[in-house]
């Protein structure tokens, strides 16, 4: 893949050398006193060409096909103008203008997006203090997604992002579990999960599971950067996933939005938000409460999420913000099933006393300072504190029902597991744009400090009751304190070689210090002290490139190293049939991709790429047999793994070939990923993993659909078809006594959504999930005690209706 990337760079340079000549426009914009005007917008009408003036009032637009155009010039406080201009081949047209001051009275403007139309785009080359040029990325515009966002239906929300695999533990949407490129989707832990640019997990390097998920009604967009994000955000193989919360309507002092959803199985979801602007203050807050009985027996839940933000702008260049998020939910887990039980009735459950209860608080202080029009400083200081509580009864096979004992007249005591989290982080970033050889380049750098602690208490004896109860007697079998201190720094520089070609090298350094102290037992009540301390220095490098074929189409490529330390979960036995290798090592490797993306007018939107992900010392679960012939799960560095594949997305708007009718649309989309994921080597006991398929990796992920809209009415049909995968590293078939391992068969599922807007204030959306009521599952549990061993079924058919209003 390295040779391929170098060949790609050479191709870009040769393409630039022999590219066809085009025309350019440049000039300056001034006011009546001939003073230069900064941040004036210059747009070529009905094209994708545009520019903004610098602090000298200058602008330029390059590589424009020859022809006649209309130029629109606009700036706040000045009268907009429209002028004709001729662009000639191999020539630069000088066009300068003096704007006239004017007072423009406008009514409140609401920017609306039709659901299902234009719901995916790419990030700009530079956004804030971040460089995205040359990186594989997608932006999901949530307001334009016509789907069941009330229950965070990931398979539809990410339907236009090729390669995203989703684990469906249940239909609640309380836990979003997604991944790509042969990585594990478990609570999205291979991604660096952010909200508004800051982490939403307690410890990125020791416990990266993202239990916090904002309600999608409050999310403006979801940003994804594949593995190349390891340099800017931290050494995660998956990359970065960022939830961007909506901004308030600043044309009003107060605006209100509400959505009420009702659905099958007594599902009820209430969302309400307020926002506005008063002087130099802007504010936004939301509250979300959701409850349901669940599709399966013993799967009821109630979910609460709240958020508030207050931003103050003392000057036009400074923004100071305070944000606070809270999540608290209680959920019953119905437990896993054996293959025979799933075939007979996937809705059944033999666990009625298992509970899961996270409580998460996330305050953040944000500071943005535009030092000048070329230099921006961003500082984030945030903390994560909370707890995760589990009450577990009979974590074994579902065939061993949790019943009342005839001898005692009561249930058996349950197990109590509790985690307490406390972390704080300071992250400072700066970007500096500068001129180099006649082109604007940019240097981005950052420093990060984090201090995270997880206090884990497990295997405590609980009550014999049926309700959620954390009453515990005696000592915990496991009482451990994990701490991670991280110092990090990164640098990336976007070099614009020409107007079309840019190259972005980067480097990251992390110092990690991890400690573990406490007690645990290997035999019941035989307590052993535990103490561990490690320190690591990690240096990662990478390089990306991007070449503009046109203003709307570009070729991109990237090679970035990645790293994943041993996680806390890898150090603790999760079930009675699990064994952990005492000599676990950290994992390392790289991500690489080459692709072409863009659009043709408003007709075609596409992104086609090939990728390679190398994962050395990948930690995996291997099924072995003990001396008595009983199988057990052995967690170890399974071996070096390599995933190669294709990621492709295409969307065609069929009604826009002859005209761009804004009142109607008919589009077809398809996203497809092929994964060839294999172990290059690896051996545990007599088990040889060479050539085995990586666990939890479907061979293909295909999601497609059709969307139609006429005026205020829109309808969307989704179809997902996902290939099969194995649940352990040595691809072991399931048995009656080991349903936690085995094959996850390929499955398909269809969803439908219909939406209608009444004027600008009201809307209604109805939908059906799993339209054909297919029986399927996406995961077998291995070592997660609270879920129970075996198959976790996907939800059957369900319906919902959403009523919304804005004031």
Determine the Cα–Cα distance for residues 142 and 680; give it in Å rounded to an integer: 39
* DSSP states along 480-528: EEEEEEEEEEEEEEEEESSSSEEEEEEEEEEEEEEEEEEEEEEETTEEE
Cβ neighbour number for residue 454 with a 10 Å cutoff:
21
Report residue 524 CA to chain centroid gap: 40
Distances (CA, A) of 747 to 338, 480, 618, 676: 18, 40, 27, 18
Q: Which residues are paired to 81 by β-bridges?
A: 73
Write down the pLDDT at residue 227.
83
Tell me which residue has tokens 């001051």: 101
Q: Which residues are paired to 380 by β-bridges?
A: 366, 427
Q: What is the mean pLDDT of each run of 10 residues along the chain (807 residues)?
A: 51 43 83 83 78 84 79 80 83 87 42 48 91 94 92 94 90 88 90 94 85 94 89 87 92 93 96 95 97 95 97 94 97 91 94 94 96 94 96 80 88 92 96 92 96 92 93 85 95 94 96 88 59 89 95 94 83 63 87 94 92 92 77 82 96 81 83 96 84 93 95 94 92 85 94 91 95 94 69 95 95
Residue in 290, 306, 288 with CA at minimum distance from that of residue 362: 306
786 near 333, Cβ under 8 Å? yes
Please tell me the number of Cα atoms within 13 Å of 434 on its side-chain side: 8
Determine the Cα–Cα distance for residues 504 and 558; give it in Å rounded to an integer: 9
Q: What are phi and psi of 104, to 5 degrees?
A: -110, 120
Write down the pLDDT at residue 522.
52
Cβ neighbour number for residue 197 with a 10 Å cutoff:
21
Determine the Cα–Cα distance for residues 225 and 127; give it in Å rounded to an integer: 13
Determine the Cα–Cα distance for residues 261 and 269; give it in Å rounded to an integer: 5
773: left (phi over 0), alpha (psi -120 to 50) or beta: left
Residue in 546, 548, 483, 476 with CA at minimum distance from that of residue 512: 483
Write down the pLDDT at residue 169.
78
Instruction: Quote the radius of gyration of the chain (alpha carbons, Å).
Output: 27
384 near 427, Cβ under 8 Å? no
Two structure tokens written together for 334: 């119905």
Determine the Cα–Cα distance for residues 283 and 322; give it in Å rounded to an integer: 10
Tell me which residue has tokens 């005690």: 785
Report residue 383 CA to chain centroid gap: 20
Q: What are phi and psi of 143, to 5 degrees?
A: -65, -20
Determine the Cα–Cα distance for residues 353 and 731; give it in Å rounded to an integer: 32
Determine the Cα–Cα distance for residues 228 and 215; give it in Å rounded to an integer: 27
With helix as H, strand as E and coil as C, how does 184-210 read? CCHHHCCEEEEECCEECCCECCCECCC
Domain ranges, ordered by start, for the chain: 2-98, 120-244, 245-456+472-523+543-806
471 near 464, Cβ under 8 Å? no
Determine the Cα–Cα distance for residues 135 and 154; give it in Å rounded to an integer: 23
Q: What are phi and psi of 523, to 5 degrees?
A: -115, 140
pTM of the shown model: 0.86
Report residue 473 CA to chain centroid gap: 40
Determine the Cα–Cα distance for residues 260 and 601; give it in Å rounded to an integer: 37
Residue in 645, 609, 782, 753 with CA at minimum distance from that of residue 155: 753
Enter the CATH code of domain 245-456+472-523+543-806.
2.40.170.20
Distances (CA, A) of 194 to 212, 666, 775: 10, 34, 33
Determine the Cα–Cα distance for residues 761 and 742; give it in Å rounded to an integer: 51
Residue in 670, 778, 674 with CA at minimum distance from that of residue 717: 670
Fold for 2-98, please state it: Immunoglobulin-like (2.60.40)
Write down the pLDDT at residue 574.
55
Determine the Cα–Cα distance for residues 494 and 555; give it in Å rounded to an integer: 16
Write down the pLDDT at residue 113.
32
Determine the Cα–Cα distance for residues 613 and 160; give it in Å rounded to an integer: 21
Say which CATH architecture domain 120-244 belongs to: Beta Complex (2.170)
Q: Which residues are paired to 53 by β-bridges?
A: none
Write down the pLDDT at residue 632.
73
Q: What are phi and psi of 520, to 5 degrees?
A: -155, 160
End-to-end CA distance of the chain: 53
Write down the pLDDT at residue 661.
55
703 near 671, Cβ under 8 Å? yes
211 near 222, Cβ under 8 Å? no
Determine the Cα–Cα distance for residues 784 and 764; give it in Å rounded to an integer: 39
**DSSP conformation class of 247:** P
Cβ neighbour number for residue 436 with a 10 Å cutoff:
12
Determine the Cα–Cα distance for residues 666 and 602; give it in Å rounded to an integer: 12
With helix as H, strand as E and coil as C, how does 59-83 read? EEEEEECCEEEEEEEECCCECCEEE
Write down the pLDDT at residue 89.
76
């Amino acid at each position: 893949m390295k040779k391929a990337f170098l060949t790609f760079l050479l191709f870009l340079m040769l393409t630039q050398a022999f590219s066809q000549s085009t025309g350019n426009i440049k000039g300056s914009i001034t006011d009546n006193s001939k003073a230069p005007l900064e941040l004036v917008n210059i747009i070529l009408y009905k094209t994708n060409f545009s520019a903004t003036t610098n602090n000298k009032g200058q602008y330029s637009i390059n590589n424009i096909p020859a022809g006649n155009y209309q130029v629109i010039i606009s700036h706040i406080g000045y009268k907009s103008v429209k002028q004709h201009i001729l662009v000639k081949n191999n020539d630069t047209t000088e066009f300068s203008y003096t704007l006239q001051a004017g007072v423009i009275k406008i009514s409140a403007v609401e920017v609306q997006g039709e659901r299902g139309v234009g719901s995916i785009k790419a990030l700009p080359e530079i956004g804030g203090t971040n460089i995205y040029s040359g990186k594989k990325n997608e932006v999901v515009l949530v307001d334009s997604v016509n789907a069941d966002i009330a229950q965070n239906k990931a398979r539809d929300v990410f339907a236009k992002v090729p390669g995203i695999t989703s684990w469906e533990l249940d239909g609640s949407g309380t836990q979003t579990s997604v991944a790509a490129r042969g990585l594990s989707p478990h609570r999205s832990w291979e991604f660096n999960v952010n909200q508004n640019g800051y982490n939403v997990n307690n410890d990125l390097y020791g416990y990266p599971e993202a239990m916090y998920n904002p309600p999608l009604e409050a999310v403006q967009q979801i940003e994804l950067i594949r593995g190349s994000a390891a340099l800017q955000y931290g050494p995660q193989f998956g990359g970065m996933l960022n939830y961007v919360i909506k901004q308030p309507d600043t044309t009003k002092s107060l605006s209100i939005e509400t959505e009420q959803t009702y659905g099958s199985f007594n599902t009820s979801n209430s969302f309400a938000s307020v926002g506005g602007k008063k002087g130099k203050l802007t504010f936004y807050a939301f509250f979300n409460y959701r409850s349901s009985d669940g599709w399966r027996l013993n799967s009821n839940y109630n979910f609460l999420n709240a958020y508030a933000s207050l931003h103050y702008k003392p000057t036009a260049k400074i923004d100071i913000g305070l944000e606070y998020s809270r999540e608290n939910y209680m959920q019953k887990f119905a437990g896993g099933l054996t293959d025979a039980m799933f075939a007979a009735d996937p809705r059944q459950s033999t666990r009625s006393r298992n509970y899961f209860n996270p409580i998460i608080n996330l305050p953040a202080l944000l500071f943005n300072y535009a030092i000048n029009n070329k230099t921006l400083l961003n500082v984030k200081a945030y903390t994560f504190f909370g707890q995760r509580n589990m009450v577990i009864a009979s974590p074994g096979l579902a065939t061993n029902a949790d019943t009342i004992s005839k001898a005692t007249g009561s249930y058996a005591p349950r197990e109590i597991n509790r985690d307490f989290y406390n972390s704080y982080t300071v992250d400072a970033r700066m970007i500096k744009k500068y001129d180099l050889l006649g082109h604007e380049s940019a240097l981005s750098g950052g420093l990060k400090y984090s201090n995270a602690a997880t206090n884990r208490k497990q295997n405590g004896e609980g009550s014999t009751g049926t309700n959620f109860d954390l009453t515990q007697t005696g000592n915990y079998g496991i009482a451990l304190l994990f701490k991670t201190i991280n110092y990090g720094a990164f640098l990336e520089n976007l070099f614009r070689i020409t107007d079309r070609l840019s190259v972005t090298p980067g480097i990251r350094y992390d110092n990690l210090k991890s400690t573990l102290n406490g007690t645990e037992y290997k035999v019941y009540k035989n307590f052993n002290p535990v103490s561990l301390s490690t320190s690591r220095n990690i240096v990662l490098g990478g390089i990306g490139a991007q070449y503009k074929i046109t203003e709307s189409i570009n070729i991109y490529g990237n090679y970035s190293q990645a790293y994943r330390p041993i996680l806390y979960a890898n150090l603790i036995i999760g079930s009675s049939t699990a064994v952990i290798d005492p000599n676990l090592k950290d994992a390392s490797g790289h991500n690489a991709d080459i692709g072409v993306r863009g659009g043709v007018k408003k007709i075609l939107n596409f992104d086609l790429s090939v990728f390679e992900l190398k994962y050395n010392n990948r930690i995996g679960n291997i099924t072995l047999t003990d001396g008595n012939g009983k199988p057990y799960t052995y967690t170890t560095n399974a071996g070096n793994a390599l995933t190669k594949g294709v990621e492709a997305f295409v969307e065609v708007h069929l009604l826009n070939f002859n005209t761009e009718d804004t009142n109607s649309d008919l589009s077809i989309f398809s996203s497809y990923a092929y994964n060839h994921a294999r172990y290059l080597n690896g051996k545990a006991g007599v088990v040889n993993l060479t050539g085995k398929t990586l666990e939890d990796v479907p061979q293909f992920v295909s999601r497609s659909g059709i969307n139609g809209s006429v005026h205020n009415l829109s309808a969307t049909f989704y179809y997902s078809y996902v290939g099969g995968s194995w649940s352990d590293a040595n691809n072991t078939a399931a048995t009656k006594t080991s349903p936690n391992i085995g094959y996850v068969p390929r499955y398909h599922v269809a969803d439908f959504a219909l939406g209608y807007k009444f004027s600008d204030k009201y809307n209604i959306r109805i939908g059906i999930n799993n339209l054909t009521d297919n029986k399927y599952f996406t995961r077998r549990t291995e070592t997660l005690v609270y879920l129970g061993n075996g198959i976790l079924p996907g939800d059957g058919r369900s319906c919902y209706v959403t009523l919304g209003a804005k004031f």
